[in-house]
Structure 1
C-alpha cells in the first residue's frame, strides 16, 4: 500500500466527537438522569402523554419541539432529549402537581444545571451534524471545526461551574487520545484552500 496505508485509514469525525462527549457525560450523569426519567415517564403511556399535552396547553407552550427519548450512546439524541424538556419545564412542573405518580420532576436548580449543560453541548451537536452531512463535502470543514471544539473544551475547563469544568476535563483526555494521531489527509484540504 502507498505509504504503508498511513493515509487510507480515516476515523469518522462525528463518531469521535460522540466518544469525546460521552466521556464528559459520564462525569455529570446524575444531573441529566431526572430529565431522562421524566421523558421516559411522559412517553410511557398514552394517558400520560395526554396529561402532559394538557399541561403544555395550560401554559400555551408551543415551541414545535417533540419530547424524544435519547439513545444514551448518541450525542445528538442526548442533546435533543435535553433541549426539548427545557422548553417544556413548566409543563413538567405542572404534571408533578396533577399526577401524583410522576415523581422525577427536576428541581429548579436541576433545570438550571441541565440548561447549562445543554448550552455547553450545543457546539458539539452543531459540528456533529455538520460532519454527518451527506449532500456536501466535509473534509474541508474538518480542521477548523476540530479546532473550535478544542478551544471550546479548553474554555470550559476554566469554567467556574465545577460540573462543566470536570466534564470538559474528561472530554479533553478523550479528545487528545483520538486527535493526537489524526489523519494528515484531512489537513490537506486546509493547506490547499486558498482562503487560508
Structure 2
C-alpha cells in the first residue's frame, strides 16, 4: 500500500512538472511575439469606451488605463526618455514610432521597446510631440498548483487566486480533499 501511494505521489509530481513545462513554453512563445503598438488619436486615450475597443481591454482595465493616461497628460511629468524622429507631421511621426517599436529598431530607446501588455502611441498636437504609453495590465485571475509537506506526509495542491484572495485545496490520494487554505495578500509592491 505504501509503495502504491509513493507511485501516486511521483505521478502527481511528474504531472505537475509537465504542466509547468507546458506553461513555460507557452509563456516563452508569447514573449517572442513582436510588440504590436496601437496608434490612437490623442482624445481617444482618455475615453474608456474607445480605449477598450482599440486596445482590446475589459471595461475595468480600460477605465484604469485611461485614468492613468489622463493623470499623466494633466500633470505633464518629465518624460522618462526623449528621442527624435523625422516625419512630415505628427500623425505620420506617431506611425513611424509605432513601426520602429514593432520592428524593435535599436534607434528606439529601450524604455519604449520594452515588452508590456499594451503599447499606445499617440500624437499630442497641442504640445507638438508623440507620446508612448507602456501599459502593464493587472491580471487578477490566477490558477496555481503546488505541494505541501507536514511531517512525513506530502500533499499535492491546486488553487485559484482572484486579486488579493487565494484558495488552495490539498490531497494525498487524489480521491478526496484532505486540507485547504485561504489567504489574503496584505501588501503588494
Higher share in strand:
2
User: Highest Rg: 1 or 2?
Assistant: 2
TM > 0.5 between the two?
no
Q: Which has the higher contact order (CA 8 A, sep 6+)?
A: 1
Higher share in helix:
1
TM-score, L = length of structure 2? 0.27
TM-score, L = length of structure 1? 0.26
